[in-house]
């Protein structure tokens, strides 16, 4: 990812490298909670990059992500109001 203040690079080994505009490089440390999580995270990134390079569809698209966000936000509303919220299944599926 290239930005006005630097870059974020996903290396082949799954490490993330941050390069700031001044050339300073940092390698964030992550607690991956085990090898299985690391492999899953790496596969998701690889799938994303391959999708861009090969013009293939992603595992999830913007519509799916909006539905997921709506469900998450409704769950917060439900917890705050301490009551169940009914989701409109048909509306969520048609988006």
Nearest-angstrom CA–CA distance, 95 and 91: 7
Domain ranges of the chain: 2-54, 62-94
| pLDDT tens digit sequence for 42-90 | 788 888 889 999 998 888 778 888 888 988 999 999 999 999 888 876 5
Number of other CB atoms surrounding residue 6 within 10 Å: 17
8 A C-beta contact, residue 28 and residue 41: no
Joined together, the tokens standing for residue 51 give 């999708």
pTM of the model: 0.42
- Angle CA 82–62–41, to nearest 5: 85
């Amino acid at each position: 990812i290239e930005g006005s203040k630097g870059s974020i690079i996903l290396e082949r080994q799954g490490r993330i490298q941050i390069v700031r505009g001044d050339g300073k490089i940092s390698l964030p440390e992550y607690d991956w909670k085990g090898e299985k999580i690391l492999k899953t995270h790496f596969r998701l990134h690889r799938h994303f990059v391959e999708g861009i390079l090969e013009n293939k569809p992603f595992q999830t698209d913007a519509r799916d992500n909006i539905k997921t966000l709506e469900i998450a936000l409704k769950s917060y509303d439900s917890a705050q109001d301490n009551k169940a919220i009914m989701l409109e299944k048909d509306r969520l599926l048609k988006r």
